[in-house]
Structure 1
Amino acid sequence: MENVADDVLHNILARLPIKPLLRYRCVSKNWNHIISYRCLIKSRPRQMILLPFTWPLVAIDANEPHHMVRLPHSPLDDEAKEWTQVFVVGTLNGIVLLALTNYKSLSCKLILYNPVTCASKIAVVMSLPLRSRPYVFGFGYGATKDDLKIVRFELCDQYRFDVFDLRTSSWSVKPRYIVRNFSFQDDAGMHVNGVLYWVTLRASYFGIFALNVRKMVFSDIKPPDGFGFDKRIEVPVLGSIGGCLCVANKVGSTRFDVWLMKEECSWMKTHSFNFDLERLDCFQAFIIPICISGNGKILIMIRCSSSTQLVIYDTSNDSYNTVNALPYDDDVNMNYKIVGFNYARSIEYT
């Protein structure tokens, strides 16, 4: 292979699966340079859904639900399973931000993690809030897409709000406060086009709270007309389809509506679908969407009395596929004791 031109080698390597591709970086300095080259990575995008409730972490191919990849050498390797809870804050520029809360040391780590290279870095370590409510986070960018910031809310008499700048590795000098007339229903915000969104609960109804990361300006988003914002149902799930904010809410026991927000906060219902539980051999179930991908596929967790299934629903053709049984052995801990959305919430990773 020494006489193969770099452009030919580039085209060959771009077609290989990730796992052997990373091993081939050890062949030579030239191979390592080509494989690490940004253009090679951009030429082979692949949509994966990262599941934070397996130990080690597992990713599902959104286009091939039968293909799952264990992610070795993740930040979870050095953590105590019985004391640590994990949730995904968000992903930007190929980097995933994980929040690891350890209830033995009463601390919370925010870790930057690249699932492809397996590189990780602790961004910040903080003590847990004195109250039972954990921190609420967001991961977004400011003036440019390289201006990455971590937003943190802490519940005191009001919500205490500050920002961690990854370029300076420091928190904002002076925290701000916002009036506490709602409660966050998400521990992590959904980032879409420079704005972070959280589902909130005011009185008996859900709402959407927004933060423009560049301007650091808060706003409330009017929910869709006729939208079932009722606290008696599961928390609506935020996502992004085609670069637009979307939300999926449960109507009844097995039906879901999907709404898409266009310009000027106008909403349009794009899909409505039901699940046939008999087909899934499950008659009484707890059903929650846990991830909405940019191409309109929705990952849904279905918990029956004796089993847990993952299903990918495709809004483009009104079909769904059951994901292969997740690995469950001595090496993989399925932390299903944490069944709330915040810890089942998964993210799409490109």
Structure 2
Amino acid sequence: MTRKNLPEDVIVEILLRLPVKPLLRFRCVSKHWRSLISDPHFAKSHFNRASGQTQRLLLHTPSGLGSLEVDAPFEDGSALRELVLPIKRQYRDVRIVGPCNGLVCVCLLHDPIEFYVWNPSTGDYRKLSDPGFSPNSDINAYMRGSGYDSSTDGYKLFVDPYTIPRPPIRVEAKVYSLKKNSWKSNPLIIGILVNGALHWIVDLDPGVFRIFAFDLAEEKFREVPPPMEENDDEGEDMIYFDTLSNLGGRLCVNVDRPDHIELWGMLEYGVKESWAPLFTVGYFTFLRTCDQLLTVGSPTPLCFSRGDQLVALGHGNGLRRSNSKNEIIEKTANGICPRGYEEAVFVEPLLSPNDYDFHGGQRFPVMKSD
């Protein structure tokens, strides 16, 4: 059967099942295929199908960038891909936050400060408008997170304008809307994106913890019920809520106990009774000594792999993969995950940062890295 006799919907269905890399090559087949694969609606449909597929870890080190397939053996060299930033800057001058739906926020720490949204899978990127930070805050600005607002089909970037000298209380942050191509001031937001909101832990008093959320659509704060109430001074061992994470679309929290960490997940968002323990990790599964526990804190869960295995960042000790019996299955080889890197989990998308915004009725020009 020739291509002319193949129905259009069948062609689309086949292409939607393919990974990003071959789709990028297939744009050269014909003008029709290029138009089809480059269409924002096709990209969104492709991402929605790919959301349950193979996850990758974005690795950022002072010496370079790469992505690692989560389910592949850590020692498999083919699972690690080298990435090249779209901007010709030294990596020590760069901060990376995200990804959110596969798009990464890049901050160039120089004067004046610059922000970009970048798709590491396709090379598409877009420079953001000037946030208007003062000269004293330019090189010390901190990106705090990015999120996708499904109600408006828009992305938002949150930046804390860290100034010198540092004020005693931080009360404001800059929020960038990719759809409006503009910045505005907002209360300081630092959090983990789950269910259209950014979440973070607030330590009110010793042993008293709360989880708060900032809704991206309504731009309002709310409290999320924790898995358990504060510590009982009369009996139970002291517990701490240490780290929030998004694992498989669920809000999760590390509950630190005297000799181990319990990873709890909210199975039904917003329902207190749905909190359940998902994993138990001994401190020394990821940390070698008591000194490390005191200085670097508990491990940071990144994602589940191969069904029921946990991949976590052991801080100074790199990545570890453990099973439900608290046994280390494997760890990163030397050089793949050195100390001091920033990590993020993503699925490779076709989405472009230029597809989510129209300015004066005209689509922003697509920029690609060399």
User: Do Structure 1 and Structure 2 share a fold, with TM-score over 0.5?
Assistant: yes
Equivalent residue of 1:208, what SS? Answer: strand
2:147 matches 1:115: no
2:266 matches 1:257: no
Counterpart position of 1:61: 69
Q: Distance in 2 between matches of 1:202 and 1:326?
A: 40
Equivalent residue of 2:175, what SS? Answer: strand
Equivalent residue of 2:34, what SS? Answer: helix
Equivalent residue of 2:245, what SS? Answer: strand
Task: Assess if the C-alpha contact under 8 Å between 1:209 and 1:220 holds in 2.
Answer: yes
Counterpart position of 1:146: 153
Task: Assess if the C-alpha contact under 8 Å between 2:95 and 2:107 holds in 1.
Answer: yes
- Greater strand content: 1
Counterpart position of 1:331: none
**Alignment match of 2:26 (pick from 24, 27, 36):** 24
Task: Assess if the C-alpha contact under 8 Å between 1:238 and 1:292 holds in 2.
Answer: no
Equivalent residue of 1:115, what SS? Answer: coil
Task: Assess if the C-alpha contact under 8 Å between 2:57 and 2:70 holds in 1.
Answer: no
Counterpart position of 2:321: 312
Counterpart position of 1:74: 85
Equivalent residue of 2:320, what SS? Answer: strand
Q: Distance in 2 between matches of 1:203 and 1:274?
A: 26
Q: Distance in 2 between matches of 1:271 and 1:348?
A: 21
**Alignment match of 1:219 (pick from 219, 222, 229):** 222
Equivalent residue of 1:78, what SS? Answer: coil
Structure 2 unpaired stretches of 5+: 232-237, 349-370
Counterpart position of 2:311: 299
Q: Distance in 1 between matches of 2:321 and 2:268?
A: 25
Structure 2 counterparts to residues 135-214 of structure 1, below 5 A: 135=142, 137-142=144-149, 144-154=151-161, 156=167, 157-172=169-184, 175-176=185-186, 188-204=190-206, 207-214=210-217
> AA paired with 2:244?
L
Structure 1 unpaired stretches of 5+: 179-183, 329-333
Q: Normalization by structure 1: what TM-score?
A: 0.69
Q: Which has the larger radius of gyration?
A: 2
Bigger relative contact order (CA 8 A; separation at least 6)? 2
> Deviation per CA, 1:167-203, whole angstroms, max 9, x where unpaired?
221123xx3557xxxxx8xxx5211222111234445
> Deviation per CA, 1:67-123, whole angstroms, max 9, x where unpaired?
624253433x512123x242324403x423x24252xx2554332122321211122
Equivalent residue of 2:91, what SS? Answer: coil
Counterpart position of 1:349: 347
CA distance 1:50–1:154, shift in 2 (3 Å):
same
- Greater helix content: 2
> AA paired with 2:342?
A
Counterpart position of 2:363: none
Q: Distance in 1 between matches of 2:158 and 2:34?
A: 35
Task: Assess if the C-alpha contact under 8 Å between 1:299 and 1:313 holds in 2.
Answer: yes
TM-superposed deviation, 1:252: 4.1
Q: Normalization by structure 2: what TM-score?
A: 0.66
RMSD: 4.3
Task: Assess if the C-alpha contact under 8 Å between 1:301 and 1:310 holds in 2.
Answer: yes
TM-superposed deviation, 1:159: 0.7
Counterpart position of 1:271: 278
Q: Give aligned pairs, total.
A: 316
> Deviation per CA, 1:7-34, whole angstroms, max 9, x where unpaired?
6655665565543442332233244345
Task: Assess if the C-alpha contact under 8 Å between 2:57 and 2:69 holds in 1.
Answer: no
CA distance 1:163–1:204, shift in 2 (3 Å):
same
